[in-house]
Amino acid sequence: MELEPSHYPAQRAAGVARACINYRRGGPNRVLTLSNVRRARLQGHAVNCTAEVLYHLGSQHSAPEVHFTVEGELGKNPDEADNKFYSRIKSLQEPLVAQNIPDSFGIVPPEMEPIRHLAFSACDYIIWQNSTENTWYNLAQIQDVQQVKRNDDYLEFDYTVLLHDFVSQEIIPWQMQVLWHPQHGVKVTQNSRQPK
């Protein structure tokens, strides 16, 4: 069935596809955004993506199945910036701690952009896993983030984020533990919806 690209069902499905792709391919220096939807195709600045989103009817606990193809490169190669970010965080004497990204004026300090992009990629896993035909989630803000010191090569962050459901206009606090390594990508190890 053809959907009108500007209507909620097409936009929500495109948001789920973006979330899945960002979780699988995003990182602290690469985040994909949704530009527009044309006949079930996502049009970005650098790439075209075709995605099929299959919702499990009657099941609120099954993530939608997302099958996608990406034509072209996903923009800049973030390896150098990722390695620089990785070295900077690994060399901190005290674990990184930050709150309210962006702040109440919408400002994100430049040094926090990779932390925010990492949150986008990790949140996109939560969005993908928890989306239904009746939701449309987006990351609104990082309430707080704390680095967890580890004895291995991974960086670990404990995030509390606010997700906005455009359909219900609900703001949902969500906690997530995130691992990241430049060679291995993003992994959400734990996540849970928090009480308001």
Residue identified by tokens 């984020």 is 161
- The pTM of the full predicted model, rounded to 2 decimals, is 0.74
Question: Which domains does the chain carry?
Answer: 8-193 (3.10.450.10)
β-sheet bridge partners, residue 185: 181
pLDDT in tens, 1-54: 566 667 767 787 788 888 888 888 888 888 777 777 776 533 354 467 888 888
β-sheet bridge partners, residue 37: 42
Residue identified by tokens 């734990």 is 190
d(CA 109, CA 117): 12
Residue 98 near residue 144 (C-beta atoms within 8 A): yes
Residue 107 φ/ψ, nearest 5 degrees: -95, 135
